[in-house]
A and B are shown apart, each in its own frame.
Chain A
């Protein structure tokens, strides 16, 4: 069952200075599905993720070749403002990184800067986003407290709520649970399961069980190349490529 694709990569190469980090990546991400990217450290999966919302622009000396088409537009085209791309394609990072502001101000920070000014609108948006991130019940009475007082797992769900508040189409998650304990991890995974009904999620993970649990398609990267890209079930039971099987069964990586 093939869904509609929302992001398409065509012959993408990526360089950090002279070092080639991604080689000839062509793949497409399906709309309203969870796609997992796996592979050993340094294989380029996080680099690829950060390419999708132009976060690699922040690193000096990087270069992109090829095209990344999102909603019919090459996001690396000369007339594209990365700010617009990032509003549609949100991101959740490896380490929870809330701002040293109140919980409410964390969620409403970006919407406020992009035009929503009415207090009641912001309150509604905050509640909606926090509910979607399954954090509302825990924080509804302490919205004015600093986000720094929350636990790591709560902080990460707050970061997800913060991303949701911008109503993106796609959410990129870069190892979102690797800094969390198993219970917090389970909560985030449940959350991903909820969110995939409305959002396209692309998740980089080191945890193969996680990839198997949450995603419908999985891409395996090795040394900057996309080795295999298949339905998750197929990748984890009967992969086409031997390298994938070796990695998944723990023979290397």
Chain B
């Protein structure tokens, strides 16, 4: 009897260890993949980085010089996308989470939002080309690109915002309403402020991803080469992801531009990770403050 018990205990212990090892390895693999990728980019790209690289336009058929117009272009496109998607996304999320009577219609809307999140980014690019560039006659410019990127991140922002709104305890809403405060004031004064950190974190992560997208902007905003900086939202701009794509595939001097490609990728990854870092800092700050 004792032996049987011991054997079953040993087996259980073994099973547990085996399972732990598998999950541990999985986690390790992900860290290694990310770490390896970043290390590879840094090793290959760091030599290209200099003050001139960051502040000068490309020269000599883009085989020399810097990437300043692409940095500026990506900045404008990203800020534009935030300006488009954040208000719209948060407003939609408020409607879905706080106002809408849960029923068939809302289920369809929610499925629609989820489907939108799964649409390949190139489809957004083509939609932007067809609708903003051609139909609305905006042409290929910052406005078209920002709108297209905005639509791309909209589902992410709606999703994150809805989760954040739902995470605000129902007791806060009840407490406020029971005082004779109206529903809109309750949302505006109590629910939204408490959901804001979650909304921002989710939205920033979504925006960070969008900043690195190539397909949505290649038909709607990105220029192959332009040394001058945009003077209005109806100007074409260079953008980091598209610049990498161009240098790596479409140029006539692909080998010569290799260091610039790595340098550009390093800047892009640095920007995206920097944006993610902001989100992480906000989240950890809020977690420390939160007490319910």
Distance, CA A99 to CA B175, complexed state (A): 8
Q: Is B180 an interface residue (CB 8 A)?
A: yes
Within 8 A of A (CB), among B152-187: 169, 171-182, 185
B residues less than 8 Å from A60 (CB atoms): 101-102
* Among candidates A84, A91, A99, A148, residue contacting B178 with C-beta atoms closer than 8 Å: A91
B225-260 residues with Cβ-Cβ distance < 8 A to A are: none
Whether A93 contacts B194 in the complex (CB less than 8 A), given A86-B179, A100-B291, A163-B179, comes out as: no
Mask for A88-116, Cβ within 8 A of B = 1, else 0?
A: 10110101011110000000011001100
B292 at the interface (CB under 8 A from A): yes
- Count the A residues whose beta carbon is within 8 Å of the partner chain — how many? 28
Q: Is B15 an interface residue (CB 8 A)?
A: no
Q: Is A58 in contact with chain B by the CB < 8 A criterion? A: yes
Inter-subunit contact A97/B174 (CB<8 Å): yes
* Minimal Cβ-Cβ distance residue in A for B102: A60
Output the least CB separation between B100 and chain A (Å): 11
Residues A86 and B292 in contact, CB atoms below 8 Å apart? no
**Contact of A110 with B171 in the complex, beta carbons under 8 Å:** no
- Cβ of B190 within 8 Å of any chain A Cβ, yes or no, is yes
Complex Cα–Cα for A53 and B177 (A): 10
A184: interface (CB < 8 Å): no
Query: B167 to chain A: closest CB distance in Å?
Result: 13
CB atoms of B190 and A99 under 8 A apart: yes
Quick one: closest A residue to B169, CB to CB?
A97
The 10 A-B pairs of least Cβ separation, nearest first, read A87-B180, A110-B179, A86-B180, A91-B178, A97-B171, A148-B291, A97-B175, A83-B182, A113-B185, A110-B181
B-contacting residues of A (Cβ < 8 Å)?
53, 55, 58, 60, 83-88, 90-91, 93, 95, 97-100, 109-110, 113-114, 146, 148, 159, 162-163, 166
Q: Give the A-binding residues of B (Cβ under 8 A).
A: 101-102, 169, 171-182, 185, 189-190, 194, 290-292
12 A-B Cβ contacts within 8 A?
A55-B177, A86-B180, A87-B179, A87-B180, A88-B180, A90-B179, A93-B174, A93-B175, A97-B169, A99-B172, A99-B190, A114-B181
